[in-house]
Chain A
């Protein structure tokens, strides 16, 4: 996105699939975006690796991850809502790490930019929810689905009337490392997307090793989609379903799901 490649044949179909997302967000006009993502070694080094870390600050900065890329504008947070979420989630036995200073990396910034880079400023307050998918042991798919359930409880018990969108992020099947690098399984990705819609228990029931076998070591990021799914009602309406491959080394999907009415 930094280098205006969006209209080239390689990228066009990937980006075009986000236009309906931008339209939906403009129509729904959320106040808050909770972004479930993983840090790739910007805010957290391996000296301290929290399994679940929640941003509880007034604002969040992007910073150089080693690539020297231009950093994006500061993201406004919502500390009062963050601390409500922390209290509620801990009460529901998700013993997370609270962060009053937190740099957000491409795992957070790229989804935000895909949705709203066309606007002069970020139209929502954002809350980062960082999951360790980098250093094993990582939380299970089932655990992150349950985290989403708990997140829903937390959101609906917030006394203020705010409209919240939850972004479950992460590449679909991909493996960056080893002789197996370049691994992508389109069938598995499409199965994951349909499972997340209709039968989240299927993906939630897989072990971390099974997901890495079928989706690649870095494809395990797909478990973060389950937190988004858990935050929705048992049945959902599908507003948009898009998949593209390859995006760099990765299968890339996007779903818009709403509570069934």
Chain B
């Protein structure tokens, strides 16, 4: 069995969720999907390791889950939207997870986002026809 290469494999810092990933991390994402239900969130919170075992996670996936290591979870196949079902109820925002992926603080991550707005008005004028309030 060999998985073919894709053009998107070369985008830096990016883990495109495709068949190869979905196949290798089906149990992990099934666990994350189960967190849609409050009863499952509570069961997971009581004993994350035991909860991981019921979904047949690999040793590495289980370790990353218990440690809440978001970058490792992503590398081990978690889909980002499913990962949000773990992170958001615990009080993490998508800025927190983005910062964790980059190994910077949330404030630093937010500053980078805010910087996108610095020359926004100028760009809207140039592009033409945009509502400007």
A interface list, Cβ under 8 A from B? 13, 16-17, 20, 40-42, 45-46, 63-68, 134-137, 175-182, 184, 186-187, 190-191, 193-194, 207-209, 212-213, 217-218, 238, 240-246, 248-249, 251
The 4 closest A-B pairs by CB, nearest first: A66-B85, A179-B13, A180-B13, A181-B98
Given contacts A136-B16, A178-B14, A249-B94, contact A65 B36 (CB under 8 A): yes
Q: A41-B33, A176-B98 are in contact. Are A46 and B133 (CB under 8 A)?
A: no
Whether B81 lies near A134 (C-beta < 8 A) is yes
Q: Known: A64-B38, A187-B123. Contact between A176 and B94, CB under 8 A?
A: yes
- Whether the Cβ atoms of B129 and A241 lie closer than 8 Å is yes
Q: Report B1-51 residues with CB < 8 Å from chain A CB.
A: 6-8, 11-19, 22, 26, 29-30, 32-33, 35-38, 41
User: Distance (Å) between the CB of B59 and the closest chain A CB?
Assistant: 22
| Inter-chain contacts of A68 with B (CB < 8 A) | 38, 41, 89
The answer to whether A245 touches B120, judged by C-beta atoms less than 8 angstroms apart, is: yes
Q: Given known contacts A182-B112, A243-B124, A245-B116, is B17 in contact with A40 (CB within 8 Å)?
A: no
Interface residues of B (CB under 8 A from A): 6-8, 11-19, 22, 26, 29-30, 32-33, 35-38, 41, 71, 74, 79-86, 88-89, 93-95, 97-98, 101-102, 109, 112-114, 116-117, 120, 123-124, 127-131, 133
Rounded to whole angstroms, the CA-CA distance of A83 and B6 in the bound complex is 37
CB-defined contacts of A209 to chain B, threshold 8 Å: 6-8, 11
A17 touches B102 (CB 8 A): no
Q: Which of B26, B29, B82, B97 contacts A181 (CB 8 A)?
A: B97
A220 to chain B, nearest CB (A): 10
Query: CB distance B36 to A181 under 8 Å?
Result: no
Q: B130, A66: Cβ atoms under 8 Å?
A: no
Q: Say yes or no: A41-B18 contact (C-beta < 8 A), given A178-B101, A209-B7.
A: no
A13, A41, A137: which contacts B85 (Cβ < 8 A)? A41
Bound CA–CA A191/B101 (angstroms): 29
A181 and B102 contacting across the interface, CB-CB below 8 Å? yes
Q: A207 contacts which chain B residues (CB < 8 A)? A: 7
Tell whether, in the assembled complex, residue B22 and residue A213 are in contact, meaning their CB atoms are under 8 Å apart. Answer: no
A17–B133 Cα gap in the complex (Å)?
7
What CA separation (Å) do A65 and B22 show in the bound complex? 20
